[in-house]
């Protein structure tokens, strides 16, 4: 056998690539295992190089080293239900801008969030939002990342949320408060002869689910009437929302699961329970409304959406978002305020005294009107403090730094970086709220320092976000809060069943309450309670 002839053509004279040189040197064509080893080495080296480049890109921003090279830290804290608390600890330790992932930053500077959320801000929603498609087949107002499409869709929906086209909004909330009171009277009043503990975690969300579904569709889903977890909603939420939070940390995986090839693993409208059942309910209601061709037939949010141009697919997606997002966040504040009031007897008695005095002088109706509630200073202080002490949505809501990068908290942040808000750190900031910021203290809102109180109001209002991403359900939520605490405290006395562990709370973007057992008695003499 002779030696191979070397070609003198220009094509054959080109330099060998690194890979081909290595293959020839190691004679890998004759050794599959050696080839596999080399390929594996190249892949590992590429991963290590990519990790180093990603780390270096934001290496000037402080944070735990583990979080700078992997998303494991964020995933771990999310799975443990303590991400908001962990983010606050990082801000307390490192300052207002902290690195919590290879491409993720968190800030406790409320002015940074305001800047990002301005109507004409070049910031856009980051990949974090991809995991929050409640129906995997379509985006909703919350998950939509296209700014132009989001603005157009939001403009069609704001009138329905504001109450201007739903004149029965206040009456609807009052009706469902009456349903809650009747349920308590019928099944959960304790007396000297009978003990009937009530899980307020469940009842609080039954109330918000019925309110938002009646506002959305014209009739409640019926949680309070049946006093049960229809479609296993609370149970499924406790299991699935944490998974969605973890997926938000890994957007690529979220998009992969939501693809048409793996979509069968996710909720679908034919399901009998959980999110899938809700998808089915909303799709049927919306389909019937479009079939009737009478958007003015019912004065609810859905009719408003249709009048302003939402098509059937958009209306279905937004109806589902209304029920899920509108019930979970409002329920958090209602549960949280009641928990903190029962844990703080002076605040409880002070609010109850304000209510009693207002009744005695004829300042409030039965049920109380929204306009009347706004004139009760301590009630407003309690509501603001409840929203502040436990911000109802604990997610980071990551936004993407625009082209050209930006200077944030004195540090340059390159384009494409995700930056989110640390809600607990912002709302527990001692510079804004005082050294006792971690303590439930409604009196802070009645301070004589007008400028200080105004700064606090502007800060707590960021719980609802601002600008182009302000929560459209803010009006509904505040009206619920203005009414429900007055009606619960004017009629009943409330106490914790287990002061040592009054409830179990975990966070999965929203706060999940479980086993929040309370003892409810009628207000009045012992004879009335017997």
CA distance 29 to 54: 34
CA distance 127 to 50: 19
**How many residues make up the chain in this entry?**
530
* Binding-site entries for heme: 471
CA distance 484 to 61: 44
Q: Using alpha carbons, select from 245, 241, 242, 183 the residue that is nearest to residue 210.
A: 183
Helical pair 18-25 and 32-57, crossing angle rounded to 10 deg: 140
Interior CA angle at 210 toward 471 and 325, to 5°? 30
Instruction: Convert 367-395 into a string of H (helix), E (strand) and C (coil).
Output: CCCHHHHCCCHHHHHHHHHHHHHCCCECC
CA distance 31 to 396: 50
DSSP per residue, 408-477? ETTEEE-TT-EEEE-HHHHHT-HHHH-TTTTS--GGGGG-S-HHHHHHHHHHHGGGG--GGG--TTHHHH
CA distance 363 to 376: 9
Contact 507, 175 (CB under 8 A): no
Q: Using alpha carbons, select from 404, 413, 421 the residue that is nearest to residue 103.
A: 413
Contact 314, 470 (CB under 8 A): no
SS3 272: coil
* Binding-site entries: 471
Distance of alpha carbon 484 from the chain centroid: 22
């Amino acid at each position: 056998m002779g030696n191979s002839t070397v070609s003198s053509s220009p094509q054959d004279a080109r330099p060998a690539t690194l890979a081909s040189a290595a293959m020839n040197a190691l004679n890998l064509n004759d050794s599959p295992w050696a080839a596999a080893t080399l390929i594996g080495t190249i892949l590992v080296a590429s991963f290590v190089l990519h990790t180093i480049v990603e780390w270096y890109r934001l290496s000037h921003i402080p944070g735990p080293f583990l979080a700078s090279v992997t998303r494991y830290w964020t995933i771990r804290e999310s799975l443990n239900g303590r991400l908001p608390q962990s983010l606050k600890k990082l801000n307390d330790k490192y300052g207002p801008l902290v690195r919590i992932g290879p491409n993720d930053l968190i800030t406790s500077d409320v002015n940074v969030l305001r800047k990002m959320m301005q109507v004409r801000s070049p910031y856009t929603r980051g990949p974090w939002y991809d995991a929050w498609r409640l129906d995997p087949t379509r985006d909703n107002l919350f998950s939509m990342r296209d700014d132009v499409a989001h603005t157009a869709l939001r403009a069609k929906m704001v009138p329905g949320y504001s109450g201007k086209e739903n004149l029965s909004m206040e009456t609807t909330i009052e009706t469902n408060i009456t349903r809650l009171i009747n349920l308590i009277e019928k099944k959960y009043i304790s007396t000297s002869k009978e003990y009937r503990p009530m899980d307020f975690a469940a009842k609080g969300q039954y109330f918000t689910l019925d309110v938002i579904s009646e506002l959305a569709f014209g009739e409640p889903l019926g949680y309070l009437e049946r006093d049960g977890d229809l479609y296993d909603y609370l149970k499924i939420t406790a299991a699935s929302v944490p998974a969605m939070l973890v997926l938000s940390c890994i957007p690529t995986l979220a998009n992969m699961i939501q693809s048409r090839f793996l979509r069968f693993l996710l909720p679908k409208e034919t399901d009998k329970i959980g999110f899938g059942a809700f998808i089915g309910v909303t799709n049927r209601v919306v389909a019937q409304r479009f079939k009737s061709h009478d958007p003015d037939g019912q004065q609810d949010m859905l009719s408003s959406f249709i009048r302003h141009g939402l098509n059937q697919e958009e209306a279905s997606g937004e109806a589902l978002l209304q029920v899920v997002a509108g019930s979970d966040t409002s329920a958090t504040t209602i549960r949280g305020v009641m928990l903190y009031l029962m844990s703080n007897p002076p605040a409880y008695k002070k609010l109850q005294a304000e209510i009693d005095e207002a009744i005695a002088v004829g300042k409030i109706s039965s049920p109380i009107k929204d306009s009347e509630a706004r004139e009760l200073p301590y009630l407003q202080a309690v509501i603001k403090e409840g929203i502040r002490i436990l911000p109802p949505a604990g997610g980071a809501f990551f936004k993407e730094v625009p082209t050209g990068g930006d200077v944030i908290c004195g540090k340059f942040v390159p384009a494409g970086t995700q930056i989110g808000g640390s809600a607990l750190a912002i709302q527990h900031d001692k510079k804004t709220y005082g050294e006792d910021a971690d303590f439930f203290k409604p009196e802070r809102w009645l301070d004589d320092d007008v400028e200080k109180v105004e700064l606090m109001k502007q800060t707590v209002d960021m719980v609802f976000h601002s600008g182009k991403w302000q929560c459209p359900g803010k009006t509904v939520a505040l009206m619920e809060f203005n009414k429900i605490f007055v009606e619960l405290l004017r009629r009943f006395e409330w106490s914790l069943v287990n002061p040592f562990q009054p409830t179990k709370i975990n966070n999965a973007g929203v706060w999940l309450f479980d086993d929040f057992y309370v003892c409810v008695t009628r207000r009045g003499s012992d004879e009335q309670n017997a």
